[in-house]
Amino acid sequence: MRHASLFTRRRFLTIGAALAGTALLPERLRADGIGLREWRGVALGADACLQLAHPDPAEADRLIRLCLDEVGRLERLFSLYRPDSALRRLNRDGALADPPGDVLRLLSEAVAFGRRTDGAFDVTVQPLWQLHAAHFGRPGADPEGPPETAVVAARGLVDYRALRVGPERIAFARRGMAVTLNGIAQGYVTDRVSELLRGQGMDRVMVDLGEIRALGSHPDGRPWRVGLKDPTAESRLSETLEIADRAVATSGGYGTRFDAAGRFSHLFDPATGHSARHWSAVTVTAADATTADALSTALSILPASKAEALLSGFPGVTARLTRPDGGVLRLAA
């Protein structure tokens, strides 16, 4: 079996490719009537893979189509780039009446993670992203980044506590605020797909939609294997994790760099308005992908002492933090 790779893209695009057929399996699995059906393609802007242990290839393909339909449905709600998405309408209008259930649920969870991380995770950092994208998108942009006055102004629009989330209306308390779900939505979508498959009776599944969740173990009885890309050389793996009934998410500044030198990335510290540079990559394992995704984002902007204190509030979660020099700090709650 191949190693599933972690990617740190933070954009939602479209789903591509078709069913890729059955994976190659050891003969003893085939003799037991177990088939590992595999789809590989692109989902949510990242290389994606679904692996289902099922004896009936046609039924496995039907389940995969259900999963891809669910990913498409959720992308239409959460995308920053689709003009008709619920998130785009919220950012454009400053409010969203009668929000769809998944938008309400995800934003409620996002605000809760804001509270639990003391603001290290904040979905309202989009004004900082917009500022830096506009600055570095201009010819001859100052390599030192936007003026500090502009950073201060954008940071004044960043505050998860000013996001009002209710079943009848979601709204910003300040004009000019905006939300990005790129630090949590991939984990959320991964969880929804995983729960869809669990509801269909599947208990040996690997879902890789950029963030990863495993239901049960590999059909040969061992854990699923997840390869972590080396942030200094993405062509090689820095480590292989073995997981069962766990989720894995990675965040890294190399996912979206605004400048050629890599000094400015999408991982903004809400407290300063500047890109965090403590770690080159942060990998979190947790019981669900939403938690792993949000915490990998939050830990990415914290120094070691604060990262350890934060993780202590999340029992059962582990983190692997890679320093720019390649050193690794391992934390466990």
- Binding site annotation covers 47? no
Distance separating alpha carbons of residues 190 and 155, to the nearest angstrom? 30
Burial zone of 173 (CB within 10 Å; 0-12 exposed, 13-18 middle, 19+ buried) = exposed
Report strand pairing: 247-251 vs 224-230: unpaired
Question: Partners of 215 in the beta sheet?
Answer: 205
Residue 327, annotated as binding a ligand: no
Beta strands in 10-120 (DSSP E): 19-22, 36-43, 46-53, 95-97
Within a 10 A sphere around the Cβ of 251, how many other Cβ atoms? 31
Task: In whole angstroms, give the CA distance from residue 135 to residue 147.
Answer: 9
Instruction: Give me the sheet containing 233-243, strands edge to edge.
Output: 4-5, 224-230, 233-243
Q: Quick one: tokens of 330? A: 């391992």
Residue with tokens 């980044």: 145
For tokens 């078709």, the residue is 18
Residue pair 330/319 in contact by the 8 Å Cβ criterion: yes
Q: What's the number of CA atoms in the CB half-sphere (13 Å) around residue 96?
A: 25
Q: Rounded distance, CA 131 to CA 146, Å?
A: 7
CA–CA gap between residue 87 and residue 1 (Å, rounded): 37
Closest CA to 171 of 88, 75, 93, 83: 93
- Please indicate if the annotation marks 183 as binding a ligand: yes
- In the DSSP assignment, the letter for residue 257 is B
Convert 133-147 to b/e letters by CB count within 10 Å (16 or more is b).
eebbeeeeeeeebbe
Residue with tokens 């939602």: 12
Binding site members: 183, 293, 297
Give binding residues for Mg(2+) as ranges: 183, 293, 297
